[in-house]
Amino acid sequence: MKFTEFLKGKGAKSSIFMGIFYAVCMLGIFLPGYTAIPGNIDQLPIAIVNEDTGEVGAQIAENLKGQLPFEEIKTNISNKAALEDLEDNELALVIHIPEAFSANLQNGDVSSSIDFTVNEASATVVASTMNQVVSQINTQLSTQFSQQTAEGILMNLNVPKEQAQEMAEKIDNSYVGNIVTINDIPDGMHNNMLPMFLTMALYVGAMIAAMQLVGAFKANRGKATKTRLFVYVQVTAVIIGILAGLISAAIAFGINDVSGEMFIQIWEQQILNYWVSFNFTATVIFLFGEAGMLLNIPVLLFQTIANGATISRDLMYAPYEWASYISPMYYSVQAYFANIFGSTSVSPFLMGLTLVGIVAMLINIVIVWIFHKPLQVDKA
């Protein structure tokens, strides 16, 4: 056999096609998706809560509102409500100016600080970007208000130059920005990316299983009714989810800094993840056969951006944001952020994940009912 004949074979042609197809899909989906960073940073919502009874707080709030690059800045909100929204990732940053800020600053009190609160149990880019923003704000305010405080006090006091200089040096550190982190994630990228890795580990396996189990469904037609075979496929998917979920949860606990109390909850979610992912990816396999994998691959890649692990919905371009509402990976990742690292309710995300699975299974039932004609069952 000549090499040219080998290249004309089905295996070589398929390999060449998949190599090009995967490269086009990956770069064509990833690169446009990540151009949202830092371009869409201004879409992140933040809150500035001014409770200062003096004039300085109002001036700071107004200046920050005009200088910060964010389009949505909430000001008519209480600090308690703002922190609750931050907990639910409806806000990316809360800037709180306390009641006695002006008085403390004018008195040279080292307790004159502004609270900057960031939620680490959120998309990686959001948390890191907010920390950078806070650092820049603190640098500017520290320089600005140490000078203003010194000038204000020295103007109100008739003191000799030597004492005035000594006084100014003490006042130099009168402002300190207080950075508060809620839902702290342990150090290490493996901890920050754990929600995504747990989700993807079972999603990819379920996608491959969808092709194999649907293939088994078709291969066994005539040996049992299609209803019975469909039930067999679903039960098998649940069994695989139980086993794969147990192993994946054990690996995560062996490597990551996760509380032992979370093991059962993570295992249960992994079982749900697998079953939902299986039905979600099996839809195109039931419809188009093995060729459906050509659609499953770009859908998988699309969800790696739309799942919210790296960039939040506020930063996503419209197609990725729309995809997040029907993406099993999005609901799973957000459920893990809430369950493992956060204190917000996990229920909405698990309900969303379950709803995607039920809808996908119902679609599969309709496809099997319409497109897979009944065959006479061999009773032998």
Tell me the pLDDT tens digit for each residue of 190-218: 888 999 999 999 999 999 999 999 999 99
Give the pair of three-digit tokens for residue 180: 């508060």
Please tell me the predicted confidence (pLDDT) of residue 304.
94
Strands 178-182 and 93-97: unpaired
**266 contacts 340 by C-beta, under 8 angstroms:** yes
Alpha-carbon dihedral angle through residues 255, 259, 260, 261, given to the nearest 10 degrees: -150
Question: pTM to 2 decimals?
Answer: 0.85
Give the CATH architecture of domain 44-182.
Answer: 3-Layer(aba) Sandwich (3.40)
Residue 154 has pLDDT above 50, yes or no: no
Which residues are CB-contacts of 204 (< 8 A; sequence separation ≥ 6)? 300
Residue 173 has pLDDT above 70, yes or no: no
Rounded CA separation 173/46 (Å): 27
Domain boundaries, the chain: 44-182, 189-371
Query: What count of other Cβ atoms lies within 10 Å of the Cβ of residue 328?
Result: 29
User: Mean pLDDT: which of 65-69, 140-144, 300-304 is highest?
Assistant: 300-304
Three-state secondary structure string covering the chain: CCHHHHHCCHHHHHHHHHHHHHHHHHHHHHHHHHCHHHHCHHHCCEEEEECCCCHHHHHHHHHHHHHCCCCCEECCCCHHHHHHHHHCCCCCEEEEECCCHHHHHHCCCCCECCEEEEECCCCHHHHHHHHHHHHHHHHHHHHHHHHHHHHHHHHHCCCCHHHHHHHHHHHCCCECCEEEEECCCCCCHHHHCHHHHHHHHHHHHHHHHHHHHHHHHHHCECCECHHHHHHHHHHHHHHHHHHHHHHHHHHHHHHCCCCHHHHHHHHHHHHHHHHHHHHHHHHHHHHHHHHHHHHHHHHHHHHHHHCCCCCCCCCCCHHHHHHHCCCHHHHHHHHHHHHHHCCCCCHHHHHHHHHHHHHHHHHHHHHHHHHCCCCCCCCC
Residue 84 has pLDDT above 90, yes or no: yes
Rounded CA separation 130/9 (Å): 54
**326-361 confidence digits (pLDDT tens):** 999 999 999 999 999 987 899 999 999 999 999 999
**242-261 confidence digits (pLDDT tens):** 999 999 999 999 988 888 88
Q: For residue 177, name the pLDDT band (cuts at 50, 70, 90).
A: confident
